[in-house]
Structure 1
Amino acid sequence: MSEPTLGTVMAAVDGLVAAAGDPAVLPGAVEDVRRLFSGSKACLARFGTDLDVGDAIATDVDPGLQRRISGDLKPDFQVLSAAIERVPFGLVYQLHSVAGREWLMNTRAFHEWFAPQDMYDGIACRLVGDPQSYWFFDVQRGKSQPRFDTAERDMLRLLSPVLTRTMEVRRHLGRVELDRDMARDTLDMLADGVVIVDRDLTIIHANDAAERLITAVRSALLTRRGRLAARQGDDQRALKAIVAETLLAHDSPLRRHSSSFVARAGGREQPALSICALPFAGLRYPGRVVIAIKPLSGRPDMTDHLARLFGLTPAEARLAGLLAAGTTVADAASTLAVRLSTVRTHLARLFQKTGTRQQSQLVALLNSVSPPFPAA
């Protein structure tokens, strides 16, 4: 084995630091450490529950062998995992010392997994973990190579804090990415449009409903070079004004401001849009505004939603939908092709099930419970 130089050590450290922020370079960083130790194989891997192929970043990966860890060789690896779990974090160990050389050499895992990959002697270190799983780094040497000595174990001990920090940052960024994806998926479930813009109206994110509204032919809103814009000149000025006022109000909470207006479409085929601006919550993202967009026509069918919400029969739900849309009792009887007395009976049941006493109260309640999510 050639002696490591300061340059090769620093290259390995630099690679690990870069990998903390960019998972795409993590395999290359693991390869750099393998070369540093003149190993036959190296891996950064997780042991624990719900393992998959992505839980091992290894050099010269064999996906078939990786799958066997949680497949037919799982019993042997469960014993190995339990033995390694007893090793304190940060302590460098040799696998045969932890698991027992005699036991290890007689396992299927050794003969069908370690040996085919020329993994006969290894040093490793547990890095980070939780009650369900832990991450560790392991570097191996082949059958014809010299065994690891004390100096090499000491070198891994010195590298272990860098490896640990790399995985701590990766785990944190993984949670951030998960939170971001969940937030975006949640916004996409909403029936109304939501757009996040900066002070120049550059679109940072638009949910699915907003994308549909903005891209509709002759819509009241559109995009110009990645920025949110209104079709009409007066509306464009109003849009800029409410964004500017919202940002000022965020900095000065006592400042009164107008945060909404109605944007007009370019033709009768598209509805006008109610536009409302809100400051983006939190101090980590200054200069960002949330724009809520709601069409002012094209009322969705509320029948199924009202039936589920108040436990209405189909006939009662149809009447409730008509009343919410502004239909009179007499016109509802004509539309539903039933007697006026039948409609009044349904109306009495609606009062009972919704806890209202007057038709005006009922209509106000029905119009306040429009579903936040589009119909499936």
Structure 2
Amino acid sequence: MLRSNLYVQAVAIPDRANALEDALDLLADGVALLRRDGGIVYANEALRILAARGSDFRIDRRTVEFPTMELRTRFAAALSAVQRVEDPPAGFGLADFAVPREGALPPFTVSVRPLTRARMEATQNPDAVAMLLIHDPLQQNSAICRMLQELHGLTNAEAHLVQALGTGMTALAYARSRCVSVTTVYTHLRRTREKTGWKSVAELTRRFHELNVALRAN
């Protein structure tokens, strides 16, 4: 799921015309502020980088373009849904959907949320009514990687492998994404098991999520 707490905290910045945009520029997730018609009035650097990486989605003429009719329809429905509520109730899920990727890679997670009046007042774009967040689970989390290296003596490559497998990526897909052989990946995995004592990929995934939750709570 996307880390909605990030943009909630962003509005606590000192009150000035572009406070919200300044905060969003610091996020690793892609974020855009949208008009009622879905047009982009602001996009942070992370979103532009994600859009430029491949064909999963792109930014064209100040709008976010998804590759299939199904995804475009879901995006339009999400934008329409958030305009009918001022704040999303608990369990509000109509505005969330996944963008699948090729090669068994974990999908992007897309979320559309309404801007409250307070958030509107914190932006220099008064016609913005919604916030789009796109999360890439493969985005490197340097904090988790550092923690794995410090706790278990993993190398940088081994820590990144744990992170990738923890997001559901297969060893084969990871090898392709890193342009290395599957043999190399399994060598890193074997050494990771020896250093951590984790006996299986399932345990590795569970331990990764435990670390992830701990970091979010902090």
Q: TM-score, normalised by structure 2?
A: 0.59
Rounded to whole Å, the distance in 2 between the matches of 1:252 and 1:274 is: 17
1:222 maps to which residue? 59
Rounded to whole Å, the distance in 2 between the matches of 1:203 and 1:359 is: 39
1:363 maps to which residue? 208
The answer to whether 1:346 aligns with 2:195 is yes
The alignment partner of 2:116 has SS state of coil
1:306 maps to which residue? 144
Rounded to whole Å, the distance in 1 between the matches of 2:87 and 2:192 is: 53
Rounded to whole Å, the distance in 1 between the matches of 2:130 and 2:49 is: 20
The 1:301/1:284 distance shift into structure 2, 3 A limit, reads closer
The alignment partner of 2:117 has SS state of coil
2:16 to 176, 184, 190: 176
Rounded to whole Å, the distance in 1 between the matches of 2:207 and 2:87 is: 40
**TM-superposed deviation, 1:288:** 0.7
Cα root mean square deviation, aligned: 4.2
2:111 to 276, 279, 289: 276
How many residue pairs align between the two structures?
176
| Greater RCO (Cα-Cα under 8 Å, separation 6 or more) | 2
**TM-superposed deviation, 1:272:** 5.0
The alignment partner of 1:274 has SS state of strand
The alignment partner of 2:55 has SS state of coil
The answer to whether 1:242 aligns with 2:62 is no
The answer to whether 1:198 aligns with 2:50 is no
1:31 maps to which residue? none
CA deviation map 1:49-75 (0-9, x unaligned): xxxxxxxxxxxxxxxxxxxxxxxxxxx
The 1:360/1:193 distance shift into structure 2, 3 A limit, reads closer
Rounded to whole Å, the distance in 2 between the matches of 1:184 and 1:206 is: 9
1:118 maps to which residue? none
1:133 maps to which residue? none
Rounded to whole Å, the distance in 2 between the matches of 1:191 and 1:223 is: 21
Q: Tell me if structure 2 keeps the 8 A contact 1:306–1:312.
A: no
1:262 maps to which residue? 98
Rounded to whole Å, the distance in 2 between the matches of 1:332 and 1:367 is: 26
Q: Tell me if structure 2 keeps the 8 A contact 1:320–1:366.
A: no
1:232 to 68, 71, 74: 68
**TM-superposed deviation, 1:254:** 7.8
1:336 to 182, 188, 206: 188
2:154 maps to which residue? 315
2:133 maps to which residue? 292
Task: Show structure 2 runs of 5+ residues with no match.
Answer: 1-14, 121-126, 172-182
The 1:300/1:217 distance shift into structure 2, 3 A limit, reads closer
1:40 maps to which residue? none
Rounded to whole Å, the distance in 2 between the matches of 1:255 and 1:315 is: 38
* Residue identity opposite 1:346 in structure 2: K
The 1:333/1:295 distance shift into structure 2, 3 A limit, reads closer
